Structure 1
Amino acid sequence: MSLYKLLSPKAFVELLQKETVRRVIPVDSTWYLPNLKRDGKKEYLEVERIPNAVYFDIDRIKDTNSPYPHMAPTIEQFNKGMSELGITKDDVLVVYDRIGTFSAPRCAWTLSMFGHNPVFLLNNFNLYKKAGYPLDTAKKTTYSGYETTSYKAHINLCSENVVSYETILDLVQKGNLKKKYNVYDARSLGRFEGREPEPRPNFPSGHISGTQPLPFTELLVESNALPESPEATKKKIEQVYKNLDDTFDPTKPTIVMCGTGVSACIVKTALEYAGITDVKLYDGSWTEWVLRSPPDLLANNRD
């Protein structure tokens, strides 16, 4: 079950007008794949943002001790990052990214894992902009306009919402991954099938045995938004299942993955929005699998 909710641009603007007690803080979490050679942090400072937004850097507020790109931060790392942004536990956070729906679900997931409430996912910035709602285009020099706080999260839900490499490895080696879980990979079909390169140089494409492709782009609609209702989202997912010959067993829990744990959160959000419960994230995803799995398993990554 998702711990954050989708919010339309219209509902977001209404929330800004109605909320008179708590601060409503937009959270820009724009991040791009390395091959696109774009910088979300730089664009936040120099291009445009929703007024009063802070910038949540998923390349920084993470487990900096891990060799893998976007592993969930420790509670200490999370608290430090939130404090530096000037966020308090009473703030209403509305997360977005300038792509539309890409890195924002990862940020919303991270915020929720450490108990921040409420958290909303704006659906989405492109529609907000198209509707003519306010934008701040002044050049900035800092990633937050708020004074530093002493943010104190007291819970970390990652252990019960994240699947480890060791768990995936054991399931694959015993031939039980597909038997016990619905496992979906959010990367493109070409990357999943080993026909297209990964965005990281000299990195093999392919997939883990027992997983199924569920490219996140197939779940989005106009302006890279998620469908506007749970019913429409469920219908969209079912159509993608059919197109890809995917299966879904409602009696099994579900695991989502991708390249580094970012776009998997898009699929997780969509599945949960459609009413599917017990969806966990393989945080290390394809990057960790390639770097850690035994040669014989990696050689069979195109089954």
Structure 2
Amino acid sequence: MLLFKLISPEAFVKLVASEKARRVIPVDATWYLPSWKLNNKEDFLTKPRIPNSIFFDIDAISDKESPYPHMFPTKQVFDDAMSNLGVQKDDILVVYDRVGNFSSPRCAWTLGVMGHPKVYLLNNFKKYEELKYPLDSSEVEAFSPYPKSHYESSKSFQDKEVVDYKEMFQLVKSGELANKFNAFDARTLGRFEGTEPEPRSDIPSGHIPGTQPLPYGYLLDPETKTYPEDGEAMRSTVEKALKDLHCTLDPRKPTICSCGTGVSGVIIKTALELAGVSNVRLYDGSWTEWALKSGPEWIAENRN
């Protein structure tokens, strides 16, 4: 289920101006691929941001016991992070990133899975900038302008939203993933097909047997990196992508999305849910965990 709503820059500005009872807090969830050699934390502190933003560190707000990057956080890690950022349960959180609907869907989804009541995904920051809406250009020294709070998440949808390695391996081994599920991979075709290298040199390219390619770029506007604004347009975009990629989607079957490390998988998960697809989950460990744990006999390079 979609645990957050899209909000346009225009609607976001109106929300900030009109909301009197609750705080509207912009959440910068920028995360960069290591190969880009950019610093998301430094960018938050030194570059223009939406006024009164906090910085949600996807790498840090994660499962500390896992050897894999930014795996879904425990309740304690999440609550501590939200408390340190000064977030309160009745705050309206509006998530964005500097790339344009790249890592922000992952953050918005995490907030929703952990039960935060009101979460929006800004569709998106680049468009906000182009429309000349307010930006804070001052350099700051902290990741939040708010005093520390006591945040306590009261419910979690993790069991309904996240697929772990054990379940994924059993689905692949039994053949159920290919036969009883729609399974999509958000990485590029080259990485999926094993013809392009992975960002990490210790991980081979290829894909999980039973998955189909659905690169996230097929589902966002190529110029603005935005999602279509209505469900019908999103459905048309998904249908065109599937046709162009020679892939299929059976709406009667549950769906699992994955990617490289669980970030861009949420881009396609969100797109499918906006298009009306139900029962969509994320394999959080995605290709990195799969390639490092399953062994070469469970790595495919063609679709058959």
| Residue 295 of structure 1: how far off its partner (Å) | 3.3
The answer on 1:290 being equivalent to 2:291 is yes
- In structure 1, the residue matched to 2:248 is 247
Give the SS at the match of 1:223: coil
| 1:224 partner SS | coil
Deviates more, 1:34-43 or 1:200-209: 200-209
Q: What does residue 68 of structure 1 align with?
A: 68
Give the Cα separation in 1 of the matches to 2:115 and 2:202: 38
1:25-174 alignment, distance < 5 Å: 25-174=25-174
Q: CA deviation at 1:297?
A: 1.4
Q: Distance in 1 between matches of 2:97 and 2:24?
A: 17
Partner secondary structure for residue 292 of structure 1: helix
Instruction: Output one character per residue of 1:95-120: Cα deviation in whole Å (capped at 9) or x when no partner.
Output: 00010110000000100011101000
Does residue 1:201 correspond to 2:201, yes or no? yes
Name the counterpart of 2:20: 20
Shift of 1:301: 4.3
What letter matches 2:232 in structure 1? E
Partner deviation per Cα, 1:59-104 (whole Å, 9 max, x = no partner): 0001011111021101110000000000000100000001011000
CA distance in 2 between counterparts of 1:67 and 1:206 reads 21
Instruction: Please list the CA deviations of residues 27-68 of structure 1 after superposition, one character each: whole Å capped at 9, or x if unmatched.
Output: 000000110011111101111110000000000001011111
How far apart, in 1, do the equivalents of 2:98 and 2:257 lie?
Answer: 23
1:259 CA displacement: 0.4
Q: In 2, Cα distance between the equivalents of 1:177 and 1:274? A: 22
Mapped contact 2:203–2:292 kept (Cα < 8 A) = no
Q: 1:172: how far off?
A: 1.2
Indicate the larger mover: 88-97 or 38-47: 38-47
- Which range is displaced more, 164-173 or 107-116? 164-173
Which residue identity does 1:209 align to in structure 2?
A: P
SS in 1 for 2:224: helix
Over aligned residue pairs, what C-alpha RMSD do you find? 1.0
**What is the alpha-carbon distance in structure 1 between the residues aligned to residue 41 and residue 231 of structure 2?**
32
Q: Which residue of 2 aligns with 1:235?
A: 236
Percent identity reads: 54
For residue 181 of structure 1, what is the aligned residue in structure 2? Answer: 181
Give the whole-Å Cα distance in 2 for the aligned partners of 1:195 and 1:296: 18
Q: Look up the match of 1:273.
A: 274
Superposition misfits of 4+ residues, deviation over 2 angstroms: 300-303
Q: Secondary structure at the match of 1:228?
A: coil
SS of residue paired to 1:109: helix
Alignment-mate amino acid for residue 294 of structure 1: G
> Can you list the C-alpha shifts for 1:181-200, whole angstroms capped at 9, x where unaligned?
00000001111011111112
CA distance in 1, matches of 2:64, 2:302: 31
Aligned equivalents of 2:78, 2:202: Cα separation in 1? 32
Q: Deviations over 1:239-296 (max 9, x none)?
A: 0000000101011000000001000000011111111111001000000101110332
TM-score, length of structure 2 as denominator length: 0.97
1:95 is paired with a residue of what secondary structure?
Answer: strand
How far residue 202 of structure 1 moved from its aligned partner, in angstroms, is 2.9
Residue type of the partner of 1:225?
T
* Uncovered stretches (5+) of structure 1, i.e. residues with no partner: none
Residue in 2 that maps onto 1:259? 260
- CA offset digits 1:178-227 (Å, max 9, x no partner): 11100000001111011111112232111011100000011110311111
Q: 2:49 and 2:177 mapped to 1: Cα distance? A: 42
CA distance in 2, matches of 1:197, 1:226: 28
